[in-house]
Structure 1
Amino acid sequence: MAAPKKGRRAPASQGHPGRTLILVLIAMAGLIGGMFYSGTLTPRLGIDLAGGTSFTLAAQNQPGKPNAINETNMNTAAGIMERRVNGLGVTESEVQTQGSNHIIVNIPKGTDAKQARQQVGTTAQLGFRPVLTTTAGAKTPEPKPNPSQSGANGKGKGDKAAGDQAKNKPGTQQKASSSQSPSSQPTTQGRAVTDSLKKAPSPKPSGPAKPTTPQAPPTPPGGAAIPPALQKQLDALDCSTKKSRAAAGEKAANTKPSDPIVACKDDGAQKYALGPVAVEGTDVSSAKAVFDSQQGQGWIVQMDFTSEGGKKFGDITGKLATKAPPQNQFGIVLDGAVVSAPSVDKAIMGGGATISGGFTQQSAEDLGNMLSYGALPLSFKIDDETTVTAALGGEQLHAGLIAGAIGLALVIIYLVAYYRGLALVALASLGVSAVLTYTIMTLLGPAIGFALNLPAVCGAIVAIGITADSFIVYFERIRDEIREGRTLRPAVERGWPRARRTILVSDFVSFLAAAVLFIVTVGKVQGFAFTLGLTTVLDVVVVFLFTKPLMTLLARRKFFSEGHSWSGLDPKRLGAKPPLRRRRGAAPTQTKEA
């Protein structure tokens, strides 16, 4: 009994080429629409093409570290600054050391220079200090009564000051506990801390020196009263202006971790007397900005402590939980300013922490960025700030574009002379690749800070050759099938599996080289590697989703299917063999893909 004949199976890629082409056109329209929607119609240029701002920072020794300015610390600081300002590594900002104690930072035009200045200049020295006492910082303390004033007048003034102080405290108090359901009520205290933090109403003190229970007046952690000298510094501290807060922050940042300090809240609403550092910033292993939609806290900064840091944090919160307000608070001090001062009602374990309250997305990302990349080993001051012009880069770009145009013209001449009608397919594919590359580079500028510099332009020009090579591989596979005596439609489908393997292997090698180059290099070379990798990925997309479907459609047209002399697929010009004849009883052969 004869076996039933098996029908020939049409290749899956031959199914609906028109739909694939429509999908590519929709994606292109979406990217172009995104450019107009964002208002960004040109790629963001690097400092060599658009100019920018240059900062010169001078290193300063820290107290107790007279020999801190050395080559190792300078290189470490430059590396941290480079990671901060570059973010993903493609914004093309340049950071390099100069001499023994200077670092030069070049920021391209279009970058927020003020934000960059804060990023590179902030030492990110983080410390968790127990609160000894706190008072309002927006106004300077009232003057002491004159010796001639006595009796009711002097007593009245003192009571009024104490009453104001007590009035300010409850409104700014925060609670820290192991609960996972923090309240969404606003607070003027600022940012809560730890993933176990909860804002809760605090006991209402009757005055700064009056206990909330029949016990003795609360004392700072450690059992010692606030030193008179420290109290005098707190009384004299003025947090009402940015200038005074900056001066206070600089002084506090230059104090030894083992010494108590007075510090301002970052917004100037409060001022604090703080004990020695209980948990240092080096005990924070990672930090990132996250939007908390579940508990309604908005943008927060999540921190993870090291194993040792988690133990320290648990110990200090356990001790503070036994104190009365405000000694049950701890201040989170960043570069001499208190960014948060939550209260604690029990020990917080687990090694995780969260800073929350009043963050915008940008401020949360900035803080997470600084904490993630670590504290600078040195403090710096900006010695000079200048504007960099792009005259030289503009001339080089002009020359590079001319060279690129000449190279593209030679490629087009070669395609037309050798492939004739197939050159239209190649040129259309190059056009699609160019549109996708341009729109994506433009949108990546505001999205991740990508900046197009001269090496990146070189990477885009090199990509023209990579993309053209993919077309040539496919065309040659089709022509080989025609030389074997097959007609165009089966030649297009039979030649695709082999061409596909070759294209994927070639593009994988190019992408791997770009990835390695991006990882092991810094600065402008990363721009070249990033562009080369991006265009290599787009080459695969264009060949699979545009070139192949377009060839499938053109194979159905008479001009190509009948092998017109100008189609580039003329069997006579290709030296095709006579049409293949299948021997009777022989099973059809199928091209197998590895």
Structure 2
Amino acid sequence: MFMQGAGTPKLGLDLAGGTTVTLTAHTENGKNPPSSQMDQAVKIMTQRVNGLGVSDGEVAKQGGNNIVVNLPGQGQGRAAETIGSTAKLQFRQVFAEAGGLPAQAPATTPTPTSSPGAKATGTPSGKATIPGAGTPSGKATGSAKPTDKPTGTPSDSSTPRGRALSQALTAPTPSTSPKTTPSGSASPTPSANPSAQTPVAPDGNDFAGVDDKAAIAQFQQTVCEPKGGPTVPGSNDVNRKWVVACDDKAEKGSVTKYLLGPVRVLGEDVKSASAMPPDTSQGQSSWSVNLTFTGKGGNQFSQTTTEASKAYQANPSSPQSQVAIVLDGQVVSAPSINQGPITGGSARIDGPAESFTQTYAEDLSNKLKYGALPLEFKMSAIDEVSSTLGADQLRGGLIAGGIGLALVLLYCLVYYRGLGLVAVGSLVVASWMTYVAVVILGENIGWRLSLPHIIGLIVSIGITADSFIVYFERIRDELRAGRALRPSVEVAWKRARRTILVADAVTFLAAVVLYFLAVGGVAGFAFAMGLTTLIDVVVVFLFTKPLMSMLSRTAFFGKGHKLSGLDAARLRRTAQTRANGTARPTSQEV
């Protein structure tokens, strides 16, 4: 808890206030969208709230075209943007690539010595890791082809840029120095590259296979702004065969534009997506997003990368060797498939550490994981929610919890005397573990402590005390039977632990069922109750039982002091008195 730098729990919407975001759906005809699409949007947004780790959030329809999202905590702008974004994912093959800024006119007309599609800077646009080829370890990390420099001047630098697509089913190998194709190398022969005879444009593209002159003209006229400019019109339309798109984030003012072919794989064919931290043992320095495709999507992706791989084998400088990952009309990555097709239904998106941060990877994975919204939403209002009422509820809940804990401790001390100190110590340890667990879960999964959570924690005090009572009564039964304290502690534990486990299992099972079937505050109550039930098992097994074994070796408890609560003689007299008072008379006595 202290290593994470957090010492207090995160509070939910009812205790700390939060942010209210109103999202308005827009349709082409200006009318209210169908109710089914609004319901689907509410479901997706609810999943995104949970995926962001913002528990205790609320998503509800308001009117015919509004959705109101309540997020606990202040400053939830990033979460609100992620919730309402469309996140339309496409995989398209690249047919042309050039600098997004206006290029300077070349001093001379391109000659056949410039290879078609050659890039000036030698900056790799991505890499593909393909299993089973090339290296003794069964994996070959291929180098990417170079990309344009906006000025059109040659350069031999090899600065990594872009995000990589690789096979996720195998461990990636340490990154190797990328190979570059010199811009001044001899052009491929017609047999190696049939498209080499096509006239080459000033940007180095031959537009082989592109049958739309309007798309070529749009590509040549498009100017992409540095640092992630606006989306090119039409680039998010899945029905368009040819689209022009720009980089989503350009580093150091360098931008790239792409002419992309038809959609080969849709975002709906992505089965799952997860953000992964960098694996330093494999030479990674940035976060990544692992993708798993459905059966249909995996087959389509394999076919796409097969065609791109063939294009690379024919001409390593061909733009068609790249597969672009387009998110919301902008190219996230355009890696070159240079070692063979990517099969197996899995892939990975990663990139430079300075841009592909944990925040970016988590947001991207949540967008891909929960799919595109069926409607386009715009944020129409964002307000802060007051927490005055929540502070009163928190104070009342803490007072109620303190009173309940004090009553349980008082009962244990009065009834069990010295033995009650063991119960007190166990409850203190359980309370501390619960507090630490709440803080850690708040930092790692975004669990926020709301009033239903506090109720679940208070109820767990009695559940935890039940375990101690079962064990203590078993020990006292063994003492009444004439055993010494030390063997009584061990024998009683063997009998009590099964009862404790069965009781906790029933409670935990009820909490699990309630958590998955309920929603909102009831689910939060069930989560808290299940958590404290697990903590109860840990405390009884790793604290209460070992502590009793240690105390049984002391003179105060071992010799049965009258204040220890384990006075064997007193326990036997009490048992005998009860037996005599409740025994039925014999026939002779009658």
- Matched residue SS, 1:41: coil
- Show the counterpart of 1:328: 321
The correspondence for 1:539, drawn from 527, 531, 536, is: 536
2:274 and 2:362 in contact (8 A); partners too: yes
1:539 CA drift (Å): 0.8
- Show the counterpart of 1:583: none
- Matched residue SS, 1:275: strand
Letter in 2 for 1:288: S
Instruction: State the alpha-carbon separation in 2 of the partners of residues 352 and 204 from structure 1.
Output: 32
- Matched residue SS, 2:344: coil
Aligned CA distance change for structure 1 residues 256 and 487 (closer, same or farther; 3 Å) = closer
Structure 1 segment 360-509 matched on structure 2, within 5 A: 360-509=357-506
1:95 aligns with 2:59: yes
1:108 aligns with 2:89: no
Aligned CA distance change for structure 1 residues 221 and 135 (closer, same or farther; 3 Å) = closer
1:561 CA drift (Å): 3.1
**CA deviation string 1:42-69 (max 9, x = no partner):** 11111221222221112233x7x99993
Structure 1 segment 140-179 matched on structure 2, within 5 A: 140=102, 156=107, 168=120, 170-174=122-126, 176=128, 178=130
- Show the counterpart of 2:557: 560
- Show the counterpart of 1:83: 47
1:134 aligns with 2:97: yes
**CA RMSD, aligned part only?**
3.5
1:74 aligns with 2:56: no
Letter in 2 for 1:357: G
The correspondence for 1:513, drawn from 510, 514, 526, is: 510
1:182 aligns with 2:141: yes
**Is the deviation greater in 437-446 or in 329-338?**
437-446
Letter in 1 for 2:335: P
**Is the deviation greater in 320-329 or in 384-393?**
320-329
The correspondence for 2:242, drawn from 260, 265, 274, is: 260
Instruction: State the alpha-carbon separation in 1 of the partners of residues 410 and 479 from structure 2.
Output: 24
Instruction: State the alpha-carbon separation in 1 of the partners of residues 188 and 225 from structure 2.
Output: 25
1:517 CA drift (Å): 2.0
- Show the counterpart of 1:284: 270
**Is the deviation greater in 521-530 or in 233-242?**
233-242
**Is the deviation greater in 288-297 or in 356-365?**
288-297
- Matched residue SS, 1:568: coil
- Show the counterpart of 2:87: 124
Instruction: State the alpha-carbon separation in 2 of the partners of residues 460 and 410 from structure 1.
Output: 16
Instruction: State the alpha-carbon separation in 1 of the partners of residues 447 and 129 from structure 2.
Output: 42
Letter in 1 for 2:72: P
Instruction: State the alpha-carbon separation in 2 of the partners of residues 560 and 303 from structure 1.
Output: 61
1:224 aligns with 2:187: no
- Show the counterpart of 2:7: 41
Structure 1 segment 308-323 matched on structure 2, within 5 A: 308-320=296-308, 321-322=310-311
1:335 CA drift (Å): 0.8
2:97 and 2:259 in contact (8 A); partners too: yes
With normalisation by structure 1, the TM-score equals 0.78
Instruction: State the alpha-carbon separation in 1 of the partners of residues 319 and 453 from structure 2.
Output: 56
Instruction: State the alpha-carbon separation in 2 of the partners of residues 278 and 578 from structure 1.
Output: 81
1:339 CA drift (Å): 0.5
With normalisation by structure 2, the TM-score equals 0.78
Instruction: State the alpha-carbon separation in 2 of the partners of residues 68 and 318 from structure 1.
Output: 44
1:507 and 1:536 in contact (8 A); partners too: yes
2:289 and 2:349 in contact (8 A); partners too: yes
**Uncovered stretches (5+) of structure 1, i.e. residues with no partner:** 1-33, 143-153, 580-594
Letter in 2 for 1:442: V
1:126 CA drift (Å): 0.7
Instruction: State the alpha-carbon separation in 1 of the partners of residues 306 and 545 from structure 2.
Output: 67
- Matched residue SS, 2:319: coil
- Show the counterpart of 1:59: 25
Instruction: State the alpha-carbon separation in 2 of the partners of residues 68 and 349 from structure 1.
Output: 43
Structure 1 segment 350-365 matched on structure 2, within 5 A: 350-358=344-352, 359-365=356-362
1:297 CA drift (Å): 4.0
**Is the deviation greater in 453-462 or in 440-449?**
440-449
Letter in 2 for 1:284: V
- Show the counterpart of 1:25: none
1:230 and 1:261 in contact (8 A); partners too: no
Instruction: State the alpha-carbon separation in 2 of the partners of residues 433 and 416 from structure 1.
Output: 17
Instruction: State the alpha-carbon separation in 2 of the partners of residues 333 and 465 from structure 1.
Output: 55
1:258 CA drift (Å): 2.9
Instruction: State the alpha-carbon separation in 2 of the partners of residues 524 and 227 from structure 1.
Output: 58
- Matched residue SS, 2:498: helix
1:127 and 1:333 in contact (8 A); partners too: yes
Instruction: State the alpha-carbon separation in 2 of the partners of residues 544 and 226 from structure 1.
Output: 73
1:177 CA drift (Å): 7.4
Instruction: State the alpha-carbon separation in 2 of the partners of residues 118 and 125 from structure 1.
Output: 15
- Matched residue SS, 1:469: helix
- Show the counterpart of 1:12: none
